[in-house]
Amino acid sequence: MNIEIQNLVPVFVALPLAGSLLIQLVARKRQAVAEGLSIAAMLALVLMTFGAIGSTGIYHLGGWPTPIGIDLRLDELSVLMLMVVNLVGLAVALYSVNYMRRFSARGHFYGLFLLMVTGMNGVVLAGDLFNLYVFLEVAAVASYSLVAFGCAHEELEASFKYIVLGSLSSALILIGVALVYGITGTLNMAHMAGRLAETGMDAPLLLAFGLFLVGFSFKAALVPFHAWLPDAHPSAPAPVSAMLSGVLIKAIGIYVLARLAFNVFGVSGNVLELLRWLGILSMVVGGLLAAGQGDIKRLFAYSSISQVGFMVLGLGLATPLGLVGALYHLVNHALFKSLLFLNAGAVEYATGTRKLDELGGLNRALPVTGATSLVGSMSIAGVPPFNGFWSKLIIVLACIEAGYYGFAAIAVAVSIVTLAYQLKVQRQAFFAELPLRLVGIGKEPRAMALAMILLAVGCVAMSFAVLSGLRDPWLIGAAQQALTAGIFGG
C-alpha cells in the first residue's frame, strides 16, 4: 500500500489540472459536462486521500536525486491538509451545481475551481520552497478570478483590493525566498533545514523569516494584514467564499507558516511570542468587528479572522497540546466555516438578500439550511457536544499548561463573543418571524442540500474524534508529531 501511494503522489496535482484543462476544451457549451467532470475529479481526489492516510514518502520528480531535483513530500501533516482541501472541495463542487446555474459562464467557473484545488494540493505537497511559491500563485490567481466571477460592482472592487494586497505579499515572499537561497544555497526544504541548523538563526535569516511571516500572514489574514478578507469573502459567490474562507487561507497561510516555523527554520523564543501575540490580536479584533455586522457573509468573514487567530495562538504555544489544538481547530473550522458560508449562500439563493434585518423565520422555509446552520453555529460558538468546543478547550488548556493565564482568559472571552454573534444570526435569520416579503420562497435544491448535509455530518463526526484520543498517531495526532519532530531530517 505504501508503494502504490508513493507512485500516485503527483496525481494529486496532475488530476485537477488535467480536469481543468479538459473542462476548458470540451465543456464551454455543454456545461453539464463541466459539472460532471469536476465532481468526478473531486471524488477521485477524496478517494485517493483516504487511501493515502498513514503513508509517507518523498517522490522525486523525474528521478533526479534530492538536492538537484524537485521533491513532492507526503507526510502526515500533508495528508491531513489534503483531506481537508479535497473533502471541502467535493462538498463545494456538489453545491455549485445548483448555485451557479444563474451564471452563464459556468464552464469557466469549474475550470478555475479545479485550478485552485490544483494550487492548494501543490502547496501542501511541495517539498521545496520555490515550487511552494509557484503553486501558491496558481491557487491565488485562480482565487482572484473566482472572487470577481459575477462581475458585479462589489465583486470587482473586492477582487481588485485582494489582487493588489496578494501581489504585494507574494513579492515579499519572493524576496524571502531569494534571501534564504542566497544564504543556504539550496531551495529544497529538507536540505535547507539541515544547513540552517548548522548556521543558526542570525540576522539575515531572521529578516527572511520575518518576510515570510508578513507575506504568509497576508495570505492567512492575520490582523494587521487582514484588510482584504472582509471585502473579498462576502462579495464572492457562495461556493467561492466557502472554499476561500474554509480552505484557502489555511492551506496557503497557516499550513505554510507551520511548516516553515517548525520544520524548516526551527524557531523558538521571540518568534513564537510574536506568533502568539498575532493570534491574540486577530482573535480579539476579528471577534469584536464580527459582532457589529449586519450582513451575514461579512459577519462570517470577520469570524474567520477570529478563528484563524485561535489557530495561530495554538501554533505559537509550540507545545504538543497546543499544536494538537491548532490542527484540530483547523480541521473543524474548515468544516463548519464552509458549511456556514454555504448556508448563507442558500439563504441568498432563496431570498435574494444577505442583510439580517430583512431575514427571519427561515427554519420553516429552508429546513435543511436551518438545521445544518444550527449545527455549524453551535460548532463554531463552542457549545459542548460539538467539535468547536473540544478544539477551543484544548487550546485554552494548552495556554494554561504553558502558563499564559491571560491568553487563556482572552480566548474564553472571545469564545463567548463568538457565541453571542452566532446566536444573533440564528435568532434574526432563522428563528424569528418570516417577513411577508419572503413568504412562498422555495426550498433549497437537492444538490445544495446534500452538500450542506455532508459538511454537517463531517462536523458531527469530528466531534467524536476527540473520544478516540487525539494523541494517537492517526491523522491529527500524527500531523502534530510531524510538526513537533522539529526540522526535517533532524
Partner 1 sequence: MISSDRNPGMGMIVQTVARWLKGLILLFGIYIVLYGHITPGGGFGGGVIIASAFILVTLAAGEATGLRLFGKPAASRLDSVGLLAFLILAWLGTWFGSHFFENFLTTPATAQFTLQSGGTMLLNNIALGLKVASALFLVFSVLAALHVATARLAQAGSTGIEPPQAPASAESPGGEDRS
Partner 2 sequence: MIYSLCLLLILVGLYGVVASRQTLKIVISIVILQHGVHLLLLLIGYRRGGMPPIQDAGQTVSSFAGQAVDPLPQALVLTSIVIGLGVLALMVALCVRLYERYGTFDVSEIRRLRG
Please check whether residue 254 is in contact with residue 311, taking contact to mean a CB–CB distance below 8 angstroms: yes
Asked if 13 is part of the footprint of partner 2 (rule: CB under 8 A), the reply reads no
Q: Which of residues 111-130 bind partner 1 (CB under 8 A)?
A: 112, 115
Closest-CA residue to 42 (of 81, 93, 8): 93
- Asked whether position 446 contacts partner 1 by CB under 8 A, the answer is no
**Minimum gap (Å) between residue 294 Cβ and partner 2:** 8
Nearer to partner 1, 119 or 309 (CB): 119
Task: Write out the three cell numbers for 263.
Answer: 520544520
Cell 457589529 maps to which residue? 292
Residue with cell 503522489: 9
Copy the grid coordinates of residue 202: 542570525
Smallest gap from residue 157 Cβ to partner 2 (A)? 5
Q: Which of residues 24-53 bind partner 1 (CB under 8 A)?
A: 24-25, 28-29
Bridge-partner residues for 60, per DSSP?
A: 71
Which residue is listed with cell 479572522? 305
**Residues 110-169 within binding reach of partner 2 (CB under 8 A):** 130, 133-134, 137, 141, 144-145, 148, 151-154, 156-160, 163-164, 167-168
**Binding test (CB under 8 A) with partner 2, winner from 10, 51, 182, 352:** 182
* 463 binds partner 2 per the rule CB under 8 A: no
Q: Does 68 bind partner 1 (CB under 8 A)?
A: no
Owner of C-alpha cell 478547550: 393
Query: How many CA within 13 A on the CB side of residue 195?
Result: 15
CB 367 within 8 A of CB 307: no
CA atoms within a 13 Å half-sphere pointing along the CA-CB vector of 178: 6
Q: Which is nearer to partner 1, 8 or 272 (CB)?
A: 8
Dig out the grid coordinates for 387 from the structure: 467539535
Q: Which is nearer to partner 1, 133 or 386 (CB)?
A: 133
Judged by beta carbon, residue 292 or residue 489, the one nearer partner 2 is 292
293 touches, from partner 2, partner 1, none (C-beta below 5 to 8 Å by class): partner 2
What letter would DSSP give residue 269? T
DSSP structure class, residue 27? T
Contact in structure between 95 and 242 (CB atoms under 8 Å): yes
- Interface positions, 149-208, toward partner 1 (CB under 8 A): 149-153
- Does residue 99 bind partner 1 (CB under 8 A)? no
Q: Cell numbers of 154, please?
A: 462589489
The reply on whether position 148 binds partner 1 by CB under 8 A is yes
Give residues with Cβ within 8 angstroms of 10, minimum separation 6.
59, 61, 72
Binding of residue 105 to partner 1 (CB under 8 A) = yes
Alpha carbons 395 and 343: distance in angstroms, whole number: 27
Residue selected from 230, 239, 322, 458 as contacting partner 2 according to rule CB under 8 A: 230
Q: Which residues bind partner 1 (CB under 8 A)?
A: 7, 10, 14, 17-18, 20-22, 24-25, 28-29, 59-63, 102-105, 108-109, 112, 115, 138, 141-142, 145, 148-153
Q: Summarize as ranges the residues that interact with partner 2 (CB under 8 A).
A: 130, 133-134, 137, 141, 144-145, 148, 151-154, 156-160, 163-164, 167-168, 171, 174-175, 177-178, 181-182, 187, 230-231, 235, 292-293, 298
